[in-house]
Structure 1
């Protein structure tokens, strides 16, 4: 039983890769948008010519604007990922506060002449409100609209140089053009990076949904195949049993001979059907070591775990193959279900007169209690029937399972001469994209 996580590291280690990327992306955007009050204080420190009459009100508006921006950004990301549309009241408050912060900040830092434009913070204060307000609405806007909005804001910022600086001169015109171009480059880059971050977040969750759907389809396809095989094997037989049973009942009711022979035929058909069903089920239950290694690679990689398999060409006898295949299946199941592994290594090799498979992963949960579940107990019983045994070890966040089965009939690597058919070397499975958990 896994304990309840208590620290941030425990919570973080138990999250999936998409959940970690989601958390990282969201909080990166939140921290950038939440830095608005710090930038406002920096503008006050850089430009001491601010108006004391409006400074206090402007700082209060900046705090309120930051809170609304964070709420709008959170609602916008949720809507981008398929959630509800943000409330109109929230968007209206965002627009009003953005405009209020920009306009009031513009007049809080006065400029009397073109020479004061360079050292003034009024243009940054204007962008503080309008820029951060636009960032909060990034998930709701397309790339084209964001680029157009950035150009409009940069043009307005450049033209604002002429407000309160007297008539237009060559100096003020040059400053307006320079400020407008630099603002355009900055806004388009920042708006674009925000939009790309939100877009990547959507792509990650879309891929995760596709993976889940693919796994469910694989399970449904396997169930359909199993039912189809049962129908093909057992359907005709049941039909014959039903017909012969009706014939026997009819003969018996009329007192005519032949009913006994028909029932004996029904018994024979039923026994044949039972053998066929057992053969079908045995085919599904049979384990094959090369197939299990290929399936383990596919399952672990589908779960986002880096997987390495060593020794796939190691010669293993038929009986040892089945036992070790069960060991691989149980070990991989435990890695997927009960660990937070990022990597897993499966090694198959010979050890004297035994064949050995080792499965090592680095995903022991924090606070996990060492023990042996029912799956490992069943595996130990299965290996004991083949004369083998399993061993487990734990070292920090690493956990290993070692399954050892006597295999005297397998040829030693490097010997010459023909071997038995069940002692041939295992084929190396090629990469596959069809196997999914």
Structure 2
């Protein structure tokens, strides 16, 4: 059997999705654990073992279904399963009563009493822990644990259990239901925290893009706002002079033409400055942003001296885009950036351990745009998953001029 399929399926999941899958599988496993727990009570030696096993099996399946629906509710994917929660509570009470009845009035023997008593405690504990997934608020959880504990004591006494046995069952249910209910509440809290963290990371990436757009808009406004106002005033003056037949109107329009051409040059400068990134600035920015996001970032090699402007700009855009992908698409905990010179080529390598989620951004327009930028300087870009669960982006650009390579050598 090829185990790479399940491993690949797991690696494709984001960190919140992995936590959710783990949480769901844990609560589904509780159905198996519930049956296994009563196996230590001597169930297999009891005369009524088949009836007890069927009751526990039905209860375990109901717990598994309820846990799945309740987790969907906590993620906002369906309405709260109120009827299912009440049904599980009723089945829990019914199985508990039946187990006590078998212990008190069923076939005699110490094995039967021990097994039935174990079933009684186990179903109440697992039932309370599962129902806790579908409630919100500490008071409701306290009420659930307290109700299960009180019910255990009341049922034990009502069906004729000795006082010592009733007390032991009550304490066991109190401790077990409290631990399992706390586990359920904590699991939901942890799952919510992971999803909120992932949403915050996505929001931070969008804000960074929005801030850059605002900066670009402010630069354009500063360049065009004043010049367009002057053009409007001089055009209006030229119209008035032309209506009066004065020759100065031509001079005003010549001035308007000059200002318009100057505005074109300034706009090109702004766009060029926006499109041409600085490699050193981007390397420092990547280290700062990733570190602030809780991702350990290692930058080695630094910025080689003497890089041609177009080469530096292309590589800087690779750093910017890959950093954005790590923040937006990845669930990395570590990222490494390396710049080196080999055989007359500048090689930039960016890799991180968030390979599963980074794959979602590998085929997007971002990397396609980077390939276009690198192609303009005869460079290449390779991106994909490598051995060890890493996602690696490698950009190679030849040194355009011999003088530049000599400086860096």
TM-score if structure 1 supplies the norm length?
Answer: 0.73
Per-residue CA deviations over 1:40-76 (Å, capped at 9, x if unaligned) read 67657345153x8xx64x6555444434333322232
Please tell me whether residue 239 in structure 1 is matched to residue 234 in structure 2: no
User: 1:59-208 residue pairs with structure 2 within 5 A?
Assistant: 60-110=54-104, 116=110, 120-139=114-133, 140-158=135-153, 162=157, 173-208=163-198
The 2-side partners of 1:330 and 1:209 are apart by 19
Aligned partner of 1:20 in structure 2 is 18
Task: Describe the SS at the equivalent of 2:104.
Answer: coil
Please tell me whether residue 287 in structure 1 is matched to residue 287 in structure 2: no
User: 1:224-235 residue pairs with structure 2 within 5 A?
Assistant: 224-235=214-225
Task: Describe the SS at the equivalent of 1:220.
Answer: helix
More helix by share: 2
Aligned partner of 1:418 in structure 2 is none
Per-residue CA deviations over 1:303-323 (Å, capped at 9, x if unaligned) read 987542212265454635335
Alignment gaps of 5+ in structure 1: 1-5, 167-171, 413-437
Q: CA deviation at 1:339?
A: 8.6
The 2-side partners of 1:335 and 1:183 are apart by 47
Residues 1:107 and 1:42: Cα distance change in structure 2 (over 3 Å): farther
Q: CA deviation at 1:240?
A: 1.8
Per-residue CA deviations over 1:160-206 (Å, capped at 9, x if unaligned) read 5555668xxxxx54554444334322222222112111110111111
Deviating more after overlay: 230-239 vs 317-326: 317-326
Q: Is the 8 A contact 1:312 1:348 kept in 2?
A: yes
Per-residue CA deviations over 1:322-359 (Å, capped at 9, x if unaligned) read 35324534665777899997754321235587654333
Aligned partner of 2:28 in structure 1 is 30
User: 1:236-385 residue pairs with structure 2 within 5 A?
Assistant: 236-297=226-287, 307-312=297-302, 315-317=305-307, 319=309, 321-329=312-320, 343-351=334-342, 356-360=347-351, 363=355, 374-375=368-369, 377-384=371-378
Residues 1:187 and 1:89: Cα distance change in structure 2 (over 3 Å): closer
Q: CA deviation at 1:393?
A: 9.1
The 1-side partners of 2:22 and 2:7 are apart by 14
Per-residue CA deviations over 1:85-108 (Å, capped at 9, x if unaligned) read 324432332222221111112212
Q: Is the 8 A contact 1:147 1:191 kept in 2?
A: no
The 2-side partners of 1:334 and 1:98 are apart by 49
The 1-side partners of 2:157 and 2:330 are apart by 64
Task: Describe the SS at the equivalent of 1:137.
Answer: helix
Aligned partner of 2:6 in structure 1 is 8
Q: Is the 8 A contact 2:124 2:173 kept in 1?
A: no
Aligned partner of 1:420 in structure 2 is none
The 2-side partners of 1:278 and 1:260 are apart by 27
The 2-side partners of 1:378 and 1:212 are apart by 26
Aligned partner of 1:403 in structure 2 is 396
Alignment gaps of 5+ in structure 2: none
TM-score if structure 2 supplies the norm length?
Answer: 0.77
